[in-house]
Structure 1
Amino acid sequence: MTETPAAPDDRGRLSSLARLWPFARPYRGLVALTFVGALLATLTQLAIPLITQDVVDGPIADGDRAGLVPLLALALAFGIAEAALFFLRRWAMNISSLQIERDLRDTLYQRLQRLPVAFHEGWSSGQLLSRATSDVSTIRRFVGFGAVFLVVNLITCAVVGVLLLVTYWPLGVAVLVTTLPLTWYGLRWEKRYNTQSRLVQDEQGELATDVEEAVQGIRVVKSLGRSGLVFGRYDRKAQRLRDLQLDKVRTLALIWCLFEFHPQITLAVILVGGSLAVGSGALTVGGLVGFVTLFTVLLWPILSLGFLLAQAQETASACDRIGELLDAPLTVTDAPGVRPQAVGTPARLRFEHVGFRFPGAGDPVLADVDLDVAPGETVALVGATGSGKTTMTALVARLFDVTAGRVTLDGHDVRDLPLVQLRTVVATAFEEATLFSMSVRENVALGRPDATDDEVAEALRVAQADFVHDLPWGLDTRIGEQGLSLSGGQRQRLALARAVLGRPSVLVLDDPLSALDVHTEALVERALREVLAETTALVVAHRASTVMLADRVALLEHGRITAVGRHSDLLAEVPAYRALLSSESELAGLTGLAGPELSEAGSR
């Protein structure tokens, strides 16, 4: 997802920025107060040039010192009003922009949690991270400053333009004429700046991905001595980001140059034309001073337009990038009107003519799969790598939705169960154990926050995770990111404890013992048998010992179940099953068993 789309036209830019309105609507009062305060504070400044004109043409020209007092008092009053309005604007602006940022960030995070697994598998984490952090911050800065002054400064330019025409229309027309080429060049370069901004934002996401991968994989990088290779890859992207940013800076510098150059040329035109007008009597000295002072009020709005338009382009790109996430379809959701259904503990799990194909893929991963797992029964899924075992287990908790057929629990299609209920009655332990930066207790009770201490202790016992009591603060010890402070076996045991906590109706185990040593594995299996006797279980098996936990075994070949039965029966009657086991170093020893030994092994 790193391709940069063509820069949309101005109408597309406005459409992108319009995405912010739903987040600003709840705070429209504060937003309006921000705009009003900023506009009034800016317009208050216009009183000073007009007062200056009266001072020059009145008390100064007449030598009336007493006449200065009311005019100076009036200028002071306008100054105090401007300061008060400035404070009001900053107060309302900070509250509204921070609230909008919070709501946008919350909405984006909730959306990421709701998007299906298939979506996350297609996006790099760095791209998602950059959108949830830097893009949201870009929007907050624009909402709190850029949007306000972009509108206020344009209004100021219009009001001052009218006042200049009223003061002395020939010079006013000359000022307006000089803005035409400025506007044309500004719009031309803004489109280029927008494209460059999008390239920079996307490249920042790519760089964030590299940093995250390098940190998470630091053990692999160091063990292979590939720090130089990883840094070289990072440095090339960092160099590209630098080049893209420099391109953007050069474009912005050119825009600034145009907006900086314009007031100087215009001021020269005003002074020359105004001096001739004063000499001919068409304009008073006070009128010229007031005209020049009015124009100086325009300096900041004109100079800021380059920066504000560039900020608007960056914000529009950020809105587009965030919109890609907010607009991504939620393919795994609750059906309309869905209600909780009665599901027993244990439950009957059935795959009925199930098929699954990844979007845009060629051959299906699963095709016409039928499997009936009785309540309290444990079935092991055995198959070669790529045969569809993990995909099949993922369909039970609707991490993916079937593309054909259906999966049922006690006769209810899993798509007819609320996701909250489904993922409560179905617990899953994955081969790759994922832990979070929280305490041991919080990690284990992640799916059951209301679990009692006794239930947590029982889950830890089943998973043979008593090592947690030796950690510095026991169950309250905070585990580092991804649980890297623990060994692979320790992480896997905690993930298993999390899955068995609460004795779910259906337990799905995707080879959860692969990282355990033989001794620990035997202890876990002995305790796990107690859990499996009280629940329905679907277990992906690669080890002989894991197969022995099952009542029956299902052989999966090329996305189809070709045989189902007891391990001993399949070993004796299905050549493909024997061939698969003989290819697995840990299972190969079983093929050498014969007669009573084979039967005994199969019945254990």
Structure 2
Amino acid sequence: MTQGSHPALASGAYLPSGSAHPHVLDDPAQWIIIERGYLDVFAVFGAPLEGRRLFLFRLEEGALARGIAAAALSDGRSLALVGVGGADSALRRCAPGEPVAAEAVQRWQEVLAQAADLPPVPDDAAEGGERSDAVLLLALANSLAEREALRSQHDWRSERRKLGEARKTQALSELASAAAGHAIEAAVTPAAAEDPDPLRSSLLRIFGALKVAPKLEAFDTPGGLEEGRSRLDIIVSRHQMTRRTVLLRPGWTLLPGLPLIGFMGEERRPVALLFRKGRWHVHDGPRVTPIASDGTEGSGTTGLAADAVQIYPALPASSLRFRDLFAFGFASLAADRVRLVLLMLAAAILATLVPYGSRFLVSDAIPYANLNLTWVIIGGLLAAALARAVFDAGKGLTMLRSELGFESRLQPAMLLRLLRLPPAFFRRYAVGDISDRVLGIQAAREVITSSFTSAAASSVFSIISLVPILTVDKRLALIVLLLAVFIGLINVAISYRALIHERQRMALKGRIESFVVQMLMGVTKLKASASEAMGFGRWSGLFAQNMRHAVKAGRWTNLQGAADALLPQLATIVLYAMILYFLKADMEKAASGGDAGKGFSLADFITVSTAFAQVLGGISALAGALIQSLSAVPLIERAGPIIEAVPDAPPPESRPVKLSGAIDIRNVSFRYSEKAPLALNELSVRIGKGEFVAIVGASGSGKSTLLRLLLGFDRPELGDIFFDGHSLSRLDLAQVRRQIGVVLQHGRIMAGSIHDNIAGESGLGMDASLEAAKMVGLDKDIEQMPMGLHTVMLDGGGTLSGGQRQRILLARALISKPAVLFLDEATSALDNRTQAIVTETLQRLPVTRLVIAHRLSTIESVDRIIMLDKGRVVETGSYAELMALNGHFAAHARRQLV
């Protein structure tokens, strides 16, 4: 019998247990007796300690397990049994000659036969057990192989059935290889048009418009999994997106927006509302009806409900870069980008008419006093100026619409990503600092968008303005280009020096805002301790540092302004000097009999001067845009941790699970940082369905840490946590948390009515809120309030007593009838009468209850008490058993007994 990575043990010795110590059951001469706890038996194809384990059965205390030589299958694979004991289990290897009860042997072969789907073994099977066990293992191996084949065939048939649902599912199956953008929409649109399910049809159209690939399995809603939630909510959440109910107020058809789910007729049939080509359209199955801009009757709005649901796309649940945010925000704005480029190009081309018009005016109109030609040129220049003004206005409107579309798509996605970041992320930064970093993303976007547009327009303008100079003299064009590059480099160098101080200033700004938030939240403590001067002193020190860097950055900015005023003048002087130099060189060349070229007329000078002024203007605008974009660098750097952090997301293999309440914590170890001590040390606890368990221990024993792990706020360093046999790491945390009622130690009341605080996002009505209030003894208090459940509370519930705040939090946890209830010091602020009501309610609840408490009156009536000390279970049992044991818990309880 092989032990995973452990030396051989003598017969009769105790074997190590726990998930880190698997035992290969391959020695027919050896038996293992489970003296305490349990032994889980798994089947493994291939290498026993490396292959995937298939759970077979659990042997409880008093049972026997026997080794069986690995069974060989016809396909070349082998099957072995692997046993894994519980962390607190006592497993002993039977000594040679030690008598083994026939009933235990019979039970061992019965569970083997049951696992292999065979009829019960005869009573004499214990005799010649090795042969019988080997036959059973071979039968088990064949049975498991058959099950795998059937499961694969069933999965294949199931997928074929789904993919056979008209052309809709054919289109969806092609999405796996479809590229982002229009390929997704092209693949989804035919499926949406022919789908008989109006909700699925509407959502497919919306996903196509949002450039989101739909997940086929997300549209299947198993009944009974998430009561109280609409099918729309479930589908949207499984796509990791979010939704919001909106009102279609008069005039809504005049404004563009994200796609909506509308509702038609009395039956509220879902339809897709999409904004295309300057107007809204109703997509109702295969029918597409445009809506007039005034929203009049008969224009597509007839029968449309006044409310709708807006769907917000989500950013990918992975580490991102800042450019990924731009790609996401502009994903559905390709037409605006093309329009913007065309408008900039048209405006730049019109600008070249000025140098050419000035040339013709000086060379052909004025010397010959040709008034008609003069007026034609002037009229042409005016027309070009007006046309450019129109193009610039169109560019501005296009930019405005693009920015609105970008913000409406990115900002909700960023907030959703922030809310889904793991709690460990928020421990690294203060509240004010995080707020400043998040707002910096929008500020950086505004800076980059405006500076990039300006830079692109200036670059095109400058390049096209070089064309008139090239037609006059290529040498002068080269000089102009070199001067422009020189001016740009000077501007960038000065801006970079300012950037060094700007980075420091932005970092200090985040610290200042964070400190101000902390002072405002703790202003009562500051006043109580008369520490206002100390708080002001710390703030003024940070503010002074910030101002020093601001002054230094301002000096470089002032130098930048001086350079902008001086360099164009110097460049003009250099250009005129080079014109004179080239004229003199040409004249000397002509005097020596060489080719003097075509000469340099007044018209040429006017053309070059006008075009050069335009080039300098473009270069100045380009330098300003680059300088402005550099100011976004510190904002992007500060936003980096938020963008790069990976949010919580369900694993790809996760499936919705309806919890019954069984919890298994196996060999869990956890620490808050690499250098911190273990907060939990190889902790193992099993909680049965519907059990009422109290976790007690001194401060720092790991009670609240355990609760954080159970909620998925942190992940164990070692070991695992199972809900109903499913590893928490492989479940959708959001779906699991919706089935858990939680009252944390520092829970807060939200601003709003009592009903809003109790019902939360459950969508349940007043009756449900009142029932939950009665369960926690809050109904009498509510009756005494003039507005009852509609009573408005401030953020934090400052107008309520501590007991009332805790009871509202308790009611919030109970209203959705969760399968599991976690309470962390939830009754600490209640008086004895109210606590008795709450305790009685908790005793009646048919759910699993885990309570962390210190008060004896809270834990006296629980089914089991688990005593923690330094992250380990030191005692477990009922209140009476632990008091009689006279150990850690009894000492803990005596401190409260009078």
The two structures have a TM-score, normalised by structure 2, of 0.59
Q: Check if 1:289 corresponds to 2:603.
A: no
What CA distance in whole angstroms lies between the structure 2 residues aligned with 1:204 and 1:194? Answer: 15
- Tell me how far 1:230 sits from its aligned partner: 2.0
Q: Check if 1:38 corresponds to 2:340.
A: no
**Is the contact made by 2:344 and 2:395 (CA closer than 8 Å) also made in structure 1?**
yes
Three-state SS of the structure 2 residue aligned to 1:503 is coil
What CA distance in whole angstroms lies between the structure 2 residues aligned with 1:485 and 1:199? Answer: 42
- Tell me how far 1:443 sits from its aligned partner: 2.0
- Tell me how far 1:54 sits from its aligned partner: 0.9
**Is the contact made by 1:459 and 1:497 (CA closer than 8 Å) also made in structure 2?**
yes
**Is the contact made by 1:380 and 1:539 (CA closer than 8 Å) also made in structure 2?**
yes
**CA, structure 1 residues 96+471, in 2 after alignment: closer, same or farther (shift >3 Å)?**
farther
With 266-275 and 408-417 compared, the bigger mean Cα shift is at 266-275
**Is the contact made by 1:19 and 1:319 (CA closer than 8 Å) also made in structure 2?**
no
What CA distance in whole angstroms lies between the structure 2 residues aligned with 1:263 and 1:290? Answer: 17
**Is the contact made by 2:502 and 2:631 (CA closer than 8 Å) also made in structure 1?**
yes
Residue segments in structure 1 that go unaligned for 5+ positions in a row: 1-14, 590-604
Residue segments in structure 2 that go unaligned for 5+ positions in a row: 1-320, 588-597
**Is the contact made by 1:382 and 1:389 (CA closer than 8 Å) also made in structure 2?**
yes
**CA, structure 1 residues 103+567, in 2 after alignment: closer, same or farther (shift >3 Å)?**
same
Which residue identity lines up with residue 453 of structure 1 in the other structure? M
**CA, structure 1 residues 421+207, in 2 after alignment: closer, same or farther (shift >3 Å)?**
same
**Is the contact made by 1:278 and 1:284 (CA closer than 8 Å) also made in structure 2?**
no
1:20-419 to 2 correspondences below 5 Å: 20-143=326-449, 145-271=450-576, 282-330=599-647, 332-344=648-660, 347-419=661-733
**Is the contact made by 1:256 and 1:306 (CA closer than 8 Å) also made in structure 2?**
no
- Tell me how far 1:155 sits from its aligned partner: 2.6
Which position in structure 2 is the counterpart of 1:457?
Answer: 770
User: Which fold has the larger relative contact order, with Cα–Cα distance below 8 Å and residues 6 or more apart in sequence?
Assistant: 1
Three-state SS of the structure 2 residue aligned to 1:395 is helix
Which position in structure 1 is the counterpart of 2:119?
Answer: none
- Tell me how far 1:232 sits from its aligned partner: 2.3
**CA, structure 1 residues 498+276, in 2 after alignment: closer, same or farther (shift >3 Å)?**
same
**CA, structure 1 residues 71+457, in 2 after alignment: closer, same or farther (shift >3 Å)?**
same
Three-state SS of the structure 1 residue aligned to 2:330 is helix
1:464-490 CA-to-partner distances (Å, cap 9, x unmatched) read 334345556443344333334444333
What CA distance in whole angstroms lies between the structure 2 residues aligned with 1:315 and 1:102? Answer: 21
Q: Which has the higher strand share?
A: 2
Which residue identity lines up with residue 315 of structure 1 in the other structure? A
Task: Count residues with an aligned counterpart.
Answer: 565
**Is the contact made by 2:444 and 2:636 (CA closer than 8 Å) also made in structure 1?**
no
Which residue identity lines up with residue 805 of structure 2 in the other structure? R
What CA distance in whole angstroms lies between the structure 1 residues aligned with 2:466 and 2:501? Answer: 33
Which position in structure 2 is the counterpart of 1:600?
Answer: none
1:70-104 CA-to-partner distances (Å, cap 9, x unmatched) read 21221122112101101110111011122223322
**CA, structure 1 residues 59+438, in 2 after alignment: closer, same or farther (shift >3 Å)?**
same
With 289-298 and 277-286 compared, the bigger mean Cα shift is at 277-286
Which residue identity lines up with residue 451 of structure 2 in the other structure? G
With 15-24 and 374-383 compared, the bigger mean Cα shift is at 15-24
**Is the contact made by 1:427 and 1:500 (CA closer than 8 Å) also made in structure 2?**
yes
Which position in structure 2 is the counterpart of 1:594?
Answer: none
Q: Which has the larger radius of gyration?
A: 2
1:503 to 817, 834, 853: 817
Which residue identity lines up with residue 819 of structure 2 in the other structure? S
What CA distance in whole angstroms lies between the structure 1 residues aligned with 2:786 and 2:601? Answer: 85
**CA, structure 1 residues 488+296, in 2 after alignment: closer, same or farther (shift >3 Å)?**
farther
Three-state SS of the structure 2 residue aligned to 1:321 is helix
Three-state SS of the structure 2 residue aligned to 1:209 is helix
Three-state SS of the structure 2 residue aligned to 1:386 is coil
Which residue identity lines up with residue 499 of structure 1 in the other structure? A
What CA distance in whole angstroms lies between the structure 1 residues aligned with 2:353 and 2:542? Answer: 53
**Is the contact made by 1:379 and 1:551 (CA closer than 8 Å) also made in structure 2?**
yes
**Is the contact made by 1:23 and 1:100 (CA closer than 8 Å) also made in structure 2?**
yes
What CA distance in whole angstroms lies between the structure 2 residues aligned with 1:473 and 1:296? Answer: 71
**CA, structure 1 residues 43+580, in 2 after alignment: closer, same or farther (shift >3 Å)?**
farther
1:397-546 to 2 correspondences below 5 Å: 397-446=711-760, 448-466=761-779, 467-470=781-784, 473-531=787-845, 534-546=846-858
**Is the contact made by 1:379 and 1:553 (CA closer than 8 Å) also made in structure 2?**
yes
**Is the contact made by 2:488 and 2:619 (CA closer than 8 Å) also made in structure 1?**
no
With 103-112 and 33-42 compared, the bigger mean Cα shift is at 33-42
**CA, structure 1 residues 482+292, in 2 after alignment: closer, same or farther (shift >3 Å)?**
farther
**Is the contact made by 2:741 and 2:818 (CA closer than 8 Å) also made in structure 1?**
yes
- Tell me how far 1:513 sits from its aligned partner: 1.8
What CA distance in whole angstroms lies between the structure 1 residues aligned with 2:346 and 2:360? Answer: 22
- Tell me how far 1:139 sits from its aligned partner: 0.8
**Is the contact made by 2:357 and 2:377 (CA closer than 8 Å) also made in structure 1?**
yes
What CA distance in whole angstroms lies between the structure 2 residues aligned with 1:205 and 1:425? Answer: 38
**CA, structure 1 residues 176+414, in 2 after alignment: closer, same or farther (shift >3 Å)?**
closer
**CA, structure 1 residues 235+474, in 2 after alignment: closer, same or farther (shift >3 Å)?**
farther
Three-state SS of the structure 2 residue aligned to 1:368 is strand
Q: Which has the higher helix share?
A: 1
What CA distance in whole angstroms lies between the structure 1 residues aligned with 2:812 and 2:774? Answer: 12
**Is the contact made by 1:97 and 1:141 (CA closer than 8 Å) also made in structure 2?**
no
Which residue identity lines up with residue 404 of structure 2 in the other structure? L
Q: Check if 1:572 corresponds to 2:884.
A: yes
**Is the contact made by 1:98 and 1:140 (CA closer than 8 Å) also made in structure 2?**
no
Which residue identity lines up with residue 389 of structure 1 in the other structure? K
What CA distance in whole angstroms lies between the structure 2 residues aligned with 1:430 and 1:122? Answer: 21
RMSD (Å) for aligned C-alpha atoms = 2.6
- Tell me how far 1:170 sits from its aligned partner: 4.5
**CA, structure 1 residues 316+34, in 2 after alignment: closer, same or farther (shift >3 Å)?**
farther
What CA distance in whole angstroms lies between the structure 2 residues aligned with 1:386 and 1:354? Answer: 16
Which position in structure 2 is the counterpart of 1:602?
Answer: none
1:482-510 CA-to-partner distances (Å, cap 9, x unmatched) read 33444433322211111111221110001
What CA distance in whole angstroms lies between the structure 2 residues aligned with 1:18 and 1:510? Answer: 40
The two structures have a TM-score, normalised by structure 1, of 0.86
Which residue identity lines up with residue 196 of structure 1 in the other structure? H
Three-state SS of the structure 1 residue aligned to 2:371 is coil
1:383-404 CA-to-partner distances (Å, cap 9, x unmatched) read 1111110011122221222232
With 564-573 and 501-510 compared, the bigger mean Cα shift is at 564-573
Which residue identity lines up with residue 25 of structure 1 in the other structure? A
- Tell me how far 1:180 sits from its aligned partner: 4.6
